[in-house]
Amino acid sequence: GNSVTQMEGPVTLSEEAFLTINCTYTATGYPSLFWYVQYPGEGLQLLLKATKADDKGSNKGFEATYRKETTSFHLEKGSVQVSDSAVYFCALGANGANSKLTFGKGITLSVRP
């Protein structure tokens, strides 16, 4: 079945540091890949997505590239801000209206001033 593995957390960075959060996946076929963000006490919001190999999703300075050869979808940001402190989830979903999303365990990012 499908699965998503995220790097262990939590991660603590200083403001303006470079961020990488690793995500690898196991899936049959060609799923879509997603990064969601959850701010304290809230639900999840879609941060970015990629629907096929070599696609790059980007939003709010975050980027992730769909790498089929390494089955990865690592999240990066060149300069983090305190407001980026949140929990980040990697997810995959098989294409098609009847599919479900499979989530990683999430990783907590704390950015200090």
Partner 1 sequence: DGGITQSPKYLFRKEGQNVTLSCEQNLNHDAMYWYRQDPGQGLRLIYYSQIVNDFQKGDIAEGYSVSREKKESFPLTVTSAQKNPTAFYLCASRGTGVTGELFFGEGSRLTVL
Which residues here bind partner 1, judged by CB under 8 A? 32, 34, 36, 41-46, 49, 51, 89, 93, 95-98, 100-101, 103-106
Indicate the residue among 11 and 44 with the shorter CB distance to partner 1: 44
Residue 68's nearest CA partner among 43, 95, 33 is: 33
104: Cβ contacts below 8 Å, ≥ 6 apart: 4, 5, 6, 23, 89, 90, 91
Indicate the residue among 40 and 113 with the shorter CB distance to partner 1: 40
Question: What is the β-pairing status of strands 86-93 and 101-103?
Answer: antiparallel
Residue 89's nearest CA partner among 53, 29, 54, 49 is: 49
Indicate the residue among 18 and 105 with the shorter CB distance to partner 1: 105
Q: How far is the CB of 5 from partner 1 (least distance, A)?
A: 11
Q: How far is the CB of 101 from partner 1 (least distance, A)?
A: 6
Q: How far is the CB of 43 from partner 1 (least distance, A)?
A: 4
Placement of tokens 């990697």 in the chain: 90
Q: How far is the CB of 82 from partner 1 (least distance, A)?
A: 22
